[in-house]
Amino acid sequence: MKYSVLGIALGILATSILVLGSFFIGFVPSATAVNVTDTATIDVNVGTLTLIDMNPAEYSWTGVDPGTNTTTKQAQIENIGSTNFTWIWFNVTQPSDRPFGTGSNSNYVASNYVWIARESQTADSDYFAVDNLEYNETRSLIYLTDPSGNIPPDHSTYTYGRFRNTSYEYFWFYDKSSGDCDGASFYVGDLPHSQGVTGTIDFSSCAAGLNNAPGVTCRSGTLAASSVSDWCYADVNIGGRNYTVAVQNSTNGYRVRWYHWKVEAPGGVDHTEGTNSQYFSQIVIYPGNSTVADLKIYLPYGVAKGQLTQGILTVVARNTEAS
Amino acid 180 reads D
Long-range contacts of 55-61 (CB under 8 A, 24+ apart): 59/295, 59/313, 61/297
278 Cβ partners below 8 Å, 6+ apart?
89, 260, 261, 263, 269
- pLDDT of 173 above 70: yes
Could you read off the pLDDT of 216-229 as tens digits, one per residue?
A: 999 999 999 998 88
pLDDT the model gives residue 1: 46
Could you read off the pLDDT of 276-308 as tens digits, one per residue?
A: 999 999 899 999 999 999 999 999 999 999 999
Given pLDDT bands bounded at 50, 70 and 90, which one contains residue 322?
low
Sheet containing 241-248: order of strands: 131-135, 255-259, 241-248, 231-238, 224-225
**In the predicted model, what is the mean pLDDT of residues 199-206?**
98
- pLDDT of 39 above 70: yes
Least confident stretch, 41-50, 104-113, 235-244, 248-257: 248-257
pLDDT the model gives residue 270: 78
pLDDT the model gives residue 214: 97
CA dihedral sign, ordered 136, 141, 143, 146? positive
pLDDT the model gives residue 95: 96
Residue 189, Cβ neighbours under 10 Å: how many?
Answer: 26
pLDDT the model gives residue 28: 56
**In the chain, where the domains are located:** 52-318
